[in-house]
Structure 1
């Protein structure tokens, strides 16, 4: 294949979106003898983005995402395509809890993403007041909403089930997925299936009961998967599959300039690169910096990405930590006066991560509009976390080790109008910069499978633009 006839595709960003894009581009090129060359530019010294695994004394610690939903098939398929499917591990199931008035309360049995489907557990729970329970039951009588435009997740559920159920159950369950404020999150961009259920069944309770009744009976199995030695195994496996000159670390893009025939990628250090097509997987603010002469549509509400942190505590002896609850962890509503927003008893949910007889706990801190706690010192954060821990666990010793990982402006906010904004942004880019494509967590889904799906979509788009055929399955 001559270099003269080879088309150069540059991918900007070395997180899981950029890496999976590069992998599937390379896979398509190999299988179909496509005349392309791929360069991936990563601004930092490490690749993997928010995927960050540490192996330490037999512990497997995830400082970013720790798993992915199996039903979103693209992440599992990536493991298969990389030949590492034998490393897949399923989570252990167990009771999950809500912290309410400084006590852990089981999530009512039969709840599906916070929506009740069984009467007895809902009536007996102490999470809601009697008035709150009666208000939630009105969902069975309320008519359908006419949703001509996007609404917030919070307003949708408050209309159907009332404030009590939303504030004490639905908010902590759903907000954590996007690290966002439920009353600002776009229903259309995050949980469109609920609007579809209301349209079909009118009542969310009836809809959820119907969906549960179609599930096969038997012991529930875990819905999440990870890799035995951590999610960073994805990153390592992809890098091994790519040609050695594909990934360029410490490569900061200053600007992307459109010429008559192609693109010029200006780097802070190094010669400009010429590209026939560009795939950008960075956050929107970085995109605007790289395109200073283009007036891009601005995101709705201009809500900045949220700043959060993960706090991991390890204990050498399980007798040092008494968790008087059988289960895998708990989430915390905004109504509670705590620093932590969630806790996973990792040694119970993912036993393979922890040596026998030891304990591994993972906490999350930071909420939208409240990033101050993340800026505090390690010792201060530890003090806050241990104070919150004492409400529900008996800690007899200091942890043997800890890890605090700060993620500044890391969680993009899908506020009301997000889906329309992404469409406008892509139309604008197609008109002004044909051959430049977007993918990644800021745009069409934040989970690992969502990012991989967007990478596959970008592969199809760029090959179509370059008049090359691909049979990649999305």
Structure 2
């Protein structure tokens, strides 16, 4: 009987547990247990459903969906029996706005991130200066040069974008887009880690614009898949479906691991976990396999004290320095207005808006939200996905990230909501107080994949493979998106088959 411990009950840990349970029920000699420090499972996936006489509101406390082109979470949802609950973003009305000089300016149609497929769509767009439009036109003309001179080493997102489109586009569009996804600084983020598809396009085509145009020509009139995918009852229903497949006696809440002890014996390796359960302490184990699916800070706290491995003489603590040194925080405020209140204000059509980071703002473009913590982005939820609000009602989600989230970390939920509403009103105009509000905080939840991340992860993987029974799982290593986490969790669980 192979005993396996999973530390962490977020999407990574739950998916690993689900995969192990499938194999246990199929007859494999597996004895797995999952330990979660908090009193709930799901990590940052958390949905609040509010039933009212006019209908149901779905307020997400974490991610509201996933990128459709990554199939692994959809495959998991279907396997869990959620196929009929899968829904897609309303791409027929998709539009994203950027705050420039205190005004919302629309990103032109036909753009993928900061890359246009139609240069004509840029004409007349106030989002881009004439120099930015000229830089876009020039990028097509220097396609062979870009392909020839593509660097062999990793570089920052800012460097990559600037080589293709200049500093204006990098500041105006790339910075807010990438900050909205990763909460990071484009001058530090690794382009090979966070935008590998664009690196591949440069290698094959040189010009990113030419690459997208040729891919569109090959696709012809075939309909493209929607950008985003979600679930009708919210992302929390994925957590509910996973939990429903797992034996309750194997899920241990409020079990906080505070130290690990590893012993090599009889040619094998065993792990013992010291836990706090309420006010009591106890040891769990021994386990032949240990999957650590906690936050990066918890990983360092648990593993750094582990002494040198007997059979190799190498130290684990030193190799943890290869993991991301920085992590961005996020605070999310969700608001809902019933139809009667929603009729008193209007918002632009589309999915929402982005606010360029203050560090990337031009000196001639003072931010309307300065001074004080600035919004990072806002999603117009009911315009992005169906089944998020009753007819005529409205749901919006406002995000604070990075330094702004840190500045608000000690503020009450009421103060966070008030700050978000104040800024929404400054951007969108007067609006009544919402009928429903939720605030969620995710401190240091987004590890920053800085330049050289893939090389560092290769070194870390090589070292961890020398430690029998240890497996690292989470958003600090091989992708921050939920599909990436689900794929990696299943891969690790499959590797532990007897």
Q: TM-score, normalised by structure 2?
A: 0.87
Contact persistence 2:335–2:438 (CA under 8 A): yes
2:310 counterpart residue number: none
- Render the CA deviation track for 1:56-98: whole Å, top value 9, x for unaligned: 1321110101101222111111111111211112121222222
Contact persistence 1:307–1:374 (CA under 8 A): no
Structure 2 CA distance, aligned partners of 1:124 and 1:372? 38
Contact persistence 2:190–2:449 (CA under 8 A): yes
Contact persistence 2:342–2:394 (CA under 8 A): no
Cα drift, residue 250 of structure 1: 0.7
- Render the CA deviation track for 1:93-140: whole Å, top value 9, x for unaligned: 222222211222221122111112212221221112112221333322
* Aligned with 1:281 (options 293, 301, 313): 293
- Render the CA deviation track for 1:271-319: whole Å, top value 9, x for unaligned: 3321011111123321222121332324469642111111111112254
1:25 counterpart residue number: 20
Contact persistence 1:299–1:421 (CA under 8 A): no
Contact persistence 2:323–2:477 (CA under 8 A): no
2:44 counterpart residue number: 50
2:439 counterpart residue number: 404
Tell me: CA distance 1:370–1:229, structure 2 relative to 1, closer, same or farther (3 Å): closer
* Aligned with 1:63 (options 26, 43, 61): 61
1:265 counterpart residue number: 273
Contact persistence 1:318–1:357 (CA under 8 A): no
Q: TM-score, normalised by structure 1?
A: 0.91
2:471 counterpart residue number: 437
Please tell me whether residue 295 in structure 1 is matched to residue 289 in structure 2: no
SS across alignment from 2:248: coil
* Aligned with 1:37 (options 25, 31, 37): 31
Structure 2 CA distance, aligned partners of 1:132 and 1:224? 28
Please tell me whether residue 185 in structure 1 is matched to residue 189 in structure 2: yes
Please tell me whether residue 146 in structure 1 is matched to residue 169 in structure 2: no
Aligned CA-pair RMSD:
2.0
Structure 1 CA distance, aligned partners of 2:461 and 2:319? 9
2:217 counterpart residue number: 213
Please tell me whether residue 223 in structure 1 is matched to residue 227 in structure 2: yes
Structure 1 CA distance, aligned partners of 2:403 and 2:154? 21
Moved more, 100-109 or 331-340: 331-340
SS across alignment from 1:406: strand
Please tell me whether residue 307 in structure 1 is matched to residue 311 in structure 2: no
* Aligned with 1:394 (options 413, 422, 429): 429
* Aligned with 1:83 (options 81, 96, 101): 81
| Length, aligned pairs only | 457
1:462 counterpart residue number: 496
1:472 counterpart residue number: none
1:239 counterpart residue number: 243
Structure 2 CA distance, aligned partners of 1:126 and 1:300? 43
Moved more, 164-173 or 323-332: 323-332
Pairing of 1:170-181 with structure 2 (within 5 A): 170-181=174-185
Structure 1 CA distance, aligned partners of 2:110 and 2:488? 33
Contact persistence 2:2–2:288 (CA under 8 A): yes
Contact persistence 1:321–1:394 (CA under 8 A): no
Tell me: CA distance 1:360–1:420, structure 2 relative to 1, closer, same or farther (3 Å): same
Tell me: CA distance 1:288–1:235, structure 2 relative to 1, closer, same or farther (3 Å): same
Contact persistence 1:365–1:374 (CA under 8 A): no
Cα drift, residue 418 of structure 1: 1.3
Tell me: CA distance 1:456–1:301, structure 2 relative to 1, closer, same or farther (3 Å): closer
Please tell me whether residue 13 in structure 1 is matched to residue 8 in structure 2: yes
1:446 counterpart residue number: 480
Structure 1: state its 5+ residue gaps.
Answer: 1-5, 469-474
Moved more, 130-139 or 110-119: 130-139
Cα drift, residue 453 of structure 1: 0.6
2:313 counterpart residue number: none
Cα drift, residue 19 of structure 1: 0.3
Please tell me whether residue 327 in structure 1 is matched to residue 350 in structure 2: yes
Structure 1 CA distance, aligned partners of 2:323 and 2:134? 34
Cα drift, residue 415 of structure 1: 0.9
Please tell me whether residue 116 in structure 1 is matched to residue 112 in structure 2: no
Cα drift, residue 370 of structure 1: 6.2
Structure 1 CA distance, aligned partners of 2:211 and 2:220? 17
Structure 2 CA distance, aligned partners of 1:106 and 1:388? 19
Structure 1 CA distance, aligned partners of 2:323 and 2:73? 31
Cα drift, residue 55 of structure 1: 1.0
Moved more, 299-308 or 451-460: 299-308
Structure 1 CA distance, aligned partners of 2:464 and 2:257? 18
Contact persistence 2:98–2:353 (CA under 8 A): yes
Moved more, 448-457 or 270-279: 270-279
Moved more, 135-144 or 421-430: 135-144
